[in-house]
Chains A and B, each alone.
Chain A
C-alpha cells in the first residue's frame, strides 16, 4: 500500500519536474541567479571571550548564569540556587538528575536537605520532580544555547519536565557559532535525539504578551565550569 503510494509520488515528482524543463530554460533567459556563499555573521561584541559572550547571551534569553572556577565553586553555586528555590513555591525538594556521574558527585558535596533524589526517572515518574540537573555536551556562545545529546547522557526528560533546569556547561565545550555546533552533532552515526536549548520555555500566544514558563522549564540556571 505504501509502496504504491511511494511509486506514485516519486513518479509524480519526476514527471512534473520533466514538464518544467523548457520553462526553466526560458527563466534563464529572463533572469540571472547567482547564489552567493556567505555564511552570515552575527554582530559580534568586540573582543569578548567565548565564555563572556555565552554568558551575556544566556542572560538575554532569560537564563541565569554563574561562572565557577572549581568543583567547590560549582557545588556552592548549586547550593545557593537550590536553597533559594526551596523558599519559593517550587519547593525544590524533589530533585531529578541525569546519569552524568559528576552531577551526583557534586550534589553530595553540597549539604542540601532534600526529600528525594532520583537519577533519570522515567516518563511515569518524572512529572513529580521540582528540579532537574544535567550537564551538557556542548554550548553555543552566539545565542546562549545548550547542546544536549541523548546518547551521551540520560537527560532528555530531566532537562524538560521539572519546572527548573540547572545545567552545568564545560567552558572548553563552548562553540562560537551555530554552524560549529551543527558540525559537532553531525556524525556518521547520528544520535537519535539531540536538543538545542536556548533559555526557559516561553510563549506569546495570548495577545502577543511574552510569558516565561509554558510546557518546558520556567527557570534555567547555567553554571559554567571554567576550570576545564
Chain B
C-alpha cells in the first residue's frame, strides 16, 4: 500500500473524516493518552519547572551542538563504539546496508529516525530481510503500512483487523483476544531474536559526557535487539545529544509521562560502548549512525531550532484537534500531527509539504502539553510566512495586497464594507463556509456608522 502524500493533504483529510472506524479509534486513543498524560503530570509537584529545565538543557545542547557531538563521539569511541556520520537518509541507509550485508536475520526495534530514512526499503532492496519487533511496528510491517502515530504505530487498527492480518500472514487461527494476539507475536518473533545476527535500534538520548546511548521501551524487544545479536546498530539523529549524564534525570521523568502517562518506562537501557571482556554478554560490535538529514539547517534561527528539542513523545498529537479528527496517515509524512507539520517542511523542503503548516487552527493545545515547551504555533506562523509569499495562489496574494490597502485607508474600508453588503446579498459567499455553517449577514450599519460622538 503506497503511503499518502503530503501534497494531497486536503484530500487525505477528507477521506480520513469519512472513515468512521478510524475516527472512533482516534477519539478513544487520543483522549485516553491525554487523560493519562495529565494525571501523570499532576503527580509531579513541579512539572512546569521540569519542562523549563528540560528546554534549557536542550537549548544549551543545540547552541553548542558541534562541541557536544564531538564529546559524545569521542567518549563513545573510547568505550569501543564505532561511530558513523550520515549527511542524509541515503548515506545512513548505505552505511547500515554495508554493515549488515552478511546478516541472515536482522531484528529491528521501533525507531522513527529509521522510518524517516525508509531504512527497511533500502535493506530489502539490498536483499536483506529485516523484521520489526515492536508489536505495533510488526503489525504495520505485515500490513505494509506506515505508522499513524509516533508512539502507537497501529492505533488505527482494530483487534479484528490485527487478527485477520495475523491469520492471512502467519496462518494463525482467528481470535478476538488481544492477549492471544500478543502471544502470537511474541512466539513468532522469539525465533527471530534467537537467530538474529544484527539488531537495529533507535536512540532516545546520547550523553556527551559519557558516550552513553539511552533507549527506553515497555515491551522488551529493544533489550533483546540490543543484547542478543553480535552486532548492534543504533541510529541517532544528531539532535538527540544531551550534555551531562545527570541531565537524564529530567528527561526520563518527562518522556514516559508525556508519551503514555507512565512514571517510568518498563525498561531503560544505558549502553556505553561494547563489552570489555569477550566472554561477557552482549554484542561484540556497536555501531552508532549519526544522522543529519537537514537537522543542522534548523539551527539557523531560534524559532526553528526549537524543533530539534522534540523528544518524540507524541503528546502534541493527542492534544491536537486536527490530529484527533484525521489521524496520522492523512499528513502524508513520516512525522504527523503538530510536530510533523513543522519539521516535515523544514527537513523535506516546502515544495510538496506546503499544506502542512496550514493544517492547524493555531489553538495552542500542543504547546501546552509539549514537555520541552516547543512553541509550535509560533513555528507554524513562521513557516506560513515563508510559504505564503512563495507558494500562495496569485488570487490569495492579490487579495491580501488589496486587504492591506483597504485596512490602511478609512475611505476604502468604508467603501468596501458597503460593497460587502451588496456582494453578500448577490453572490453566495464562500461555499467552504456555508456548506456546514450558516453565515451571519453583514450588518446594514457598521459599528463605525452607528457611533455617535
Contact = CB atoms under 8 A, between A and B. Distances in A.
> Do chains A and B make direct contact within the complex (CB under 8 angstroms)?
yes
Interface of A: 2, 5-6, 8-10, 12-14, 16-17, 19-20, 23-24, 27, 33, 35-43, 61, 120, 122-124, 127, 143, 145, 150-151, 154, 156-157, 160-161, 178-179, 182-183, 185-186, 190-209, 211, 213-217
A145 B256 CA distance: 14
B85 A6 contact: yes
Interface in B239-282: 245-246, 248-250, 252-253, 260, 263-276, 280-282
B152 A178 contact: no
A2 B290 CA distance: 10
A14 to B, nearest CB: 5
Contacts of A195: 223, 267-270
Contacts, number: 263
Contact of B275 (A40, A192, A213): A192
A201 B182 CA distance: 12
Contacts of A9: 85, 87, 238, 290, 292, 296
B386 interface: no
Contact of A157 (B227, B246, B296): B227
Contact of B223 (A33, A120, A216): A216
B178 A209 contact: yes
Contacts of A215: 133, 186, 189-190, 193, 219-221, 223-224
Contacts of B248: 182
B450 to A, nearest CB: 38
- Residues of B in contact with A, size category: 35 or more
A213 B43 contact: no
B136 interface: yes
Contacts of B45: 40-43
Nearest to B189: A215
B28 A214 contact: no
A216 B245 CA distance: 26
Given A185-B270, A195-B268, A143 B263 contact: yes
Interface stretch (B9-17, B52-60, B359-367): B52-60
B354 interface: no
Nearest to B276: A192
Interface stretch (B153-161, B398-406, B411-419): B153-161
A208 B34 CA distance: 13
Contact of B91 (A5, A19, A154, A160): A5
A144 to B, nearest CB: 8
Contacts of B270: 185, 190-191, 193-196
Interface stretch (B300-308, B328-336, B387-395): B300-308
Contacts of B253: 40, 178
Contacts of A203: 135-136, 182, 218-219
Given A204-B260, A206-B135, A215-B221, A179 B246 contact: yes
B63 interface: yes
B280 A16 contact: no
Contacts of A2: 83-85, 95
Contacts of B302: 20, 23-24, 27
25 contacts: A6-B85, A9-B87, A9-B238, A9-B290, A10-B70, A17-B299, A40-B46, A42-B44, A123-B227, A123-B228, A123-B281, A150-B280, A157-B227, A157-B228, A160-B220, A182-B249, A194-B269, A195-B269, A205-B155, A206-B159, A207-B25, A211-B182, A214-B186, A215-B223, A216-B220
A175 to B, nearest CB: 12
A198 B267 CA distance: 6
Nearest to B70: A10
A193 to B, nearest CB: 5
A156 B281 contact: yes
Contacts of A123: 194, 227-228, 281
Nearest to A190: B272
Nearest to A140: B264
Contacts of A43: 43-45
Given A41-B46, A192-B272, A214 B249 contact: no
Contact of B182 (A17, A37, A191, A213): A213
Contacts of B84: 2, 5
B79 interface: yes
A36 to B, nearest CB: 5
A217 B219 CA distance: 9
A154 B260 CA distance: 31
